[in-house]
Amino acid sequence: MKIAIIGVNGQLGSDCSTILSTENETVGCDIPEVNIGSRESVDNFLDTNRPDAIINCAAYTAVDACEQETELSWQINCDGAKYLAQAAERLNSRLIHISTDYVFDGHKKVPEPYIESDTPNPLSQYGRSKLAGEKAVSKYASNHVILRTAWLYSSSGKNFLKTMLRLAVSGPDRELKVVNDQYGSLTWSYTLALQIQKLLHSDLNGIMHTTAEGYSSWYEAACYFIPA
C-alpha cells in the first residue's frame, strides 16, 4: 500500500511514518513543501504520488493564536481538509483525518466522556475550524475515517509534557502554575499511530474517538510527570 502522510514532521506524522514505512511505501510532506491551504499545492503532491491512503496529521493547533489568525487557521483546518477529501475521492484513496476534542464545549461532568453521537458545540475558532474540516471530509470523501483525539504527546514536536520538563530543568526553583479545572486523557501519539495502522486495513468509516484510557487535569498530569 502506498500511503501519503500529510504533516509528516509533527509528532503524530513522525510516528505514523516510523510504523507504516516498515510494511508500506510511504511519502510524507509538510510545510513549506506542501501547503494544504492551497488546492493547487495539495493536488500537485497527491497527483504526483497517487497514494492508496492519505493520513492528514496537519493542522493549525495553536488554540489561542487561532483567535487572532482566524483566516489562516480556517485555511489549514477547514479548506485543507476539503482539498484533501476532494483529492482522495478523485484518486479513490482512503482518507484518515485527525480531529480534536475541541469540537465539544467541555460542559459534561467529569469523568463522563464524550462519545461519537454527542452533538459538537465548539467554543473556540480552533474548534470551529476543525469541526468545519470534519464536515468537509464527510461531504467530499466517501472512504474516510475522522479520528477525534486529545492531549497528544511524544518525544518529538511540541507538547505539554515537554514544556513542563523544559521549564522544570531551566528553572528548578521556579514555581510552576498549571490549571486544575481542565480534564482530558494524555494520549501517546505512537499508540494512536498503531490504531491508524489497523484502520487503514479495515472497512470502518465515519467518526471515532481515539484517546488513551483514564483522565486527569493538566495539574495532575504535571504533578505525576514531575513529582515534587
How far apart (Å, rounded) are the C-alpha atoms in residues 219 and 110?
15
β partners of residue 6: 29, 56
Grid look-up 507538547 returns 159
Left (φ > 0), alpha (ψ -120 to 50) or beta: where does 141 sit? beta
- Catalytic, 83? Answer no
How far apart (Å, rounded) are the C-alpha atoms in residues 103 and 203?
25
Spot the catalytic one: 126, 140, 153, 183: 126
The dihedral sign for the CA sequence 111, 114, 119, 121: positive
Kind of pairing between the strands at 206-209 and 144-149: parallel
Residues with active-site annotation = 126
